[in-house]
Structures are given as structure tokens and as C-alpha cells.
Amino acid sequence: MCGDVKAGEEENPLRNPTVNLGSQSHCPAFQAEVEAELGALRSAELYRCLRTVEGLPGPRMRVDGQDVLMLAGANYLDLAGDPRVIAGAQQAMESAGCAAGGSRLITGNLALHEALEHDLATFVGAEAVLIFSTGYMANLGVITTLAGPGDVIISDALNHASIIDACHLSRASTRVFRHNDPEDLARVAASCGGFRRRVLVLDGVYSMDGDVARLREMAPIARASNMVVVLDDAHGLGILGPGGRGVASQEGVVVDIQIGNLGKALGSFGAYVACSHTLRELLINRTRSLIFTCGLAPAPLGAAHAALRIIQDEPWRRLRLLERAEQLRAGLKTAGFDTGASTTHIVPAIVGDNRATMSLCERALALGVHAQGIRYPSVPEGTARIRFTPMCSHSPDDIQHAVKIFSELGR
């Protein structure tokens, strides 16, 4: 009788291994629709697949079975594999286990959360910090808490997808201005007088272009229009500004809310929101992406805390990263590539055509250099590119070799 379904009971596919949840026979029409969608993506050169990455994070790794020079990650300061950061993760697990065990409002608010929040707030110069499970959830949570029906969000045209999705979910009106254009921001701001609340949302470093938000020019426009300024500085923390405190610090501007990431320069996982004490309390009480999910696990908290100490003790990491990025940018320009408006550690080589971009990416990978091809919708149509993200641990010879490979392939 073991495995039989009793009278009156429905068969449970999770208890019966003979049921194939992926079988095409369950709904042939749906399966055909999925195959047609995939076919359309292939025809448009937009089909994507997952690469398998192996080894300790570093300047050289194994990608799809091949040893390569890694120029495609966000481990900018090479801390994700640092023994001190790994030890921080291990110590956190030994003291608090492998999971937070629930929402932060139930059982998941760990002393590890609060300790890291305190030190992050001190580092970035904020009254308070609140940690989220991912950067995507932080952006969704903050924007949907700040804005709703009757409010307006003013958003840069090249803001991250998580910001765009948050604008839609908020049900607030959304006005988009031309990328990094203060004059167009002023034009849009002039039309937003009838709303209850006005929220300006910017990326600190634009992750596909490598340029920096023109905060010095935009902040006065925002203040004159009584806007709340939200800055997603996922790629600036630990690298830009005095001591690596980010774009707002570099530009000498105070923003209302700074959203940062623990999974890039800090070599861990998760995100944070830096703000006032009162806003932190509102987020705890209103933000669905915090309330209805598990708290960040102990290991990434311990890793991020260790990494935060390292970036303060070893400023050479961010300085060397920026040197390598400038060497790479100059070399690609000399080789005839368009690096756009990049001034940071993110360096695009804009190709334009999807097929040509991915062909260049795959040929470089075959020659031992991994820099990922990026296409729509990650970037606007017609601006497909190779996106290079060097690390502080790359040598000048590494960068020279990558430039040589792409120079030869580009010809």
C-alpha cells in the first residue's frame, strides 16, 4: 500500500516521484507558447544562458570549464575570497547558525544585524542604517514606502531595473528625465507642483555605463522643488569618495536616503538603507520587502562586517582599482572602442549590434578573457556592449593582456 493514494485523496506530486512536474504533456499549448517565446529571443539575439563559475573569487577563475582572466564580476576589491572575510562568515555561523530563522519582526532580528548597521551608519555618516536581504528588495521597499497614489517619482532614464519596477509597484506617478541631465531634471521638476510628495531617485554609479550621478548640479534643483533625494549607490560604496564612503561623499552632497550593497565592494551579500532614525522606524513598520521575508543570514553579515574593517584599513585597494580601470579605459580607447561616459571602475566597450557583441564576448572567452556581453533590456536597444569590471588585484600585465585580446578581436 506504500505510495498508493487513498480514496478521496488527491495525488501529491511531491510525494510521488513518478510525477514529472516538467512534463510537456501537462499543458501542450503552454509549452508551445514558451518555446515560441524562446525562439523569438534567439531570433533577436537576446537569448541568454547561465555560465558555470568555479573556484575561489579572484582575478582568475574557471568559467564554463576554462581558466580565464575574470573581468566580469563585481568583486571589485577582491574581498569575496579574502581569508579574513571568510573567517568573518565562519565566526558568524558558529555563533548564530546558518539562518536568521524568520522575518526581522518575528525572530530574525539578530545582534549581528544591529552591530553591522551601527558600523555602516558610522562609516557612511548616517543617523541610522537598516539591512535588507538584497539590493533589489531594498529599492522596492524604500520607494514603495515613500511614494504612492498622489505622489510623483522623478527617475533618471538609466536607473536600475529594480528602481523601475519599484516605481511601477508604488502606483505613484513617474516622470523620467534624460540621463544625468540637470536641465531636463529642472524641466520635469517644474511640472511636479501638484503632488503630495516628490521623490527623486538616482543611481550613484550607473552600472552599465560607469558614469557618476551629477549630484552637485541636481541636488539644488531637488531642494528647490522640495524633493526627497534617494541615491542607490550600490557600486560606489567602498570605492568612491573620501575613504570609499560613496558618491554623495565624493560630490559633497547630503542625500536623504542612501541605498548600498554588501555584495560588491564588500564581497558579501545583502543591502542596506542609510537614513534618519525616524525614517528607519517607518521602514520597519511599512516596508513589505522587509516585513515579509527572512532576515539576512549570519554568514553574509559576518563577512560584510569583516570586509568593512578591511576597506578602512587598506585604502590601497580602491586606489589600485581605479588605476587599473583607467589603464583599461585608455587601452580600449586606443584600440578604437567607444567607452562612453565611463569615469569609474565600470568600463563599457560599446559595440551596438547584439550578434557582434556576443560573438566578441565568446571569442574573448575562448582566448581566456571573460568580460560579459550586455544587451537589451539591460541597456537600451542598439547599445549592446562588453562590460569590463576590473579588480584591485589585477596586475598591469593582466589589463594589458585583456586590451591586446580585444584589440585583435575588434579588428
pLDDT value at residue 26? 75
Q: What secondary structure letter does DSSP report for 244?
A: G
pLDDT value at residue 27? 86
- Same domain membership, residue 331 and residue 190: no
> 309 lies in a domain?
yes
> 20 lies in a domain?
no
The helix/strand/coil state of 207 is coil
> What is the residue-wise DSSP string for 285-314?
HH-HHHHTSBPPPHHHHHHHHHHHHHHHH-
At which of 279, 296, 313 does a domain end? Answer: 313
pLDDT value at residue 401? 97
pLDDT value at residue 25? 59
- Same domain membership, residue 324 and residue 249: no
pLDDT value at residue 121? 98
- Same domain membership, residue 102 and residue 123: yes
pLDDT value at residue 411? 77
In this prediction, the residues of the chain whose per-residue pLDDT falls under 70 are: 1-25
- How many CB atoms are closer than 10 A to CB 282? 13
Q: How many domains does the chain have?
A: 2
- End-to-end Cα, the chain, rounded Å: 70
- Same domain membership, residue 297 and residue 330: no
- Same domain membership, residue 143 and residue 281: yes
Closest CA to 169 of 153, 185, 156, 192: 153
> For the whole model, what pTM was predicted?
0.91
> 281 lies in a domain?
yes
- Same domain membership, residue 272 and residue 388: no
Domain of residue 226, CATH code = 3.40.640.10
The string of pLDDT tens digits covering residues 227-263 is 999 999 999 999 999 999 999 999 999 999 999 999 9
List strand residue ranges (DSSP E) for 50-102, in order: 53-54, 60-63, 66-70
At which of 244, 279, 313 does a domain end? Answer: 313
- Same domain membership, residue 395 and residue 286: no
C-alpha separations of 301 from 89, 109, 152, 270 in Å: 7, 12, 34, 8
- Same domain membership, residue 308 and residue 401: no
Q: Which amino acid is at 168?
A: H
> 131 lies in a domain?
yes
Element (H, E) at 280: helix 277-286
Percent helix, strand, coil in the chain, to 5, is 40, 15, 40
Phi/psi region, residue 336 (left: phi>0; alpha: psi -120 to 50; beta: rest), is left
At which of 285, 313, 341 does a domain end? Answer: 313
What lies within 8 Å, CB to CB, of 138 at 6+ separation is 132, 259, 271, 272, 273, 289
φ/ψ of 177, rounded to 5, equals -115, 160
- Same domain membership, residue 327 and residue 239: no
> 396 lies in a domain?
yes
> 234 lies in a domain?
yes
The length of the chain, given as a count of residues:
411
- Same domain membership, residue 242 and residue 101: yes
- 232: containing domain: 83-313
Give yes or no for a contact between 161 and 185, defined as CB atoms under 8 angstroms apart: no
The string of pLDDT tens digits covering residues 134-180 is 999 999 999 999 999 999 999 999 999 999 999 999 999 999 999 99
> 335 lies in a domain?
yes
- Active-site amino acid positions: 207, 235, 264
Give yes or no for a contact between 190 and 184, defined as CB atoms under 8 angstroms apart: no
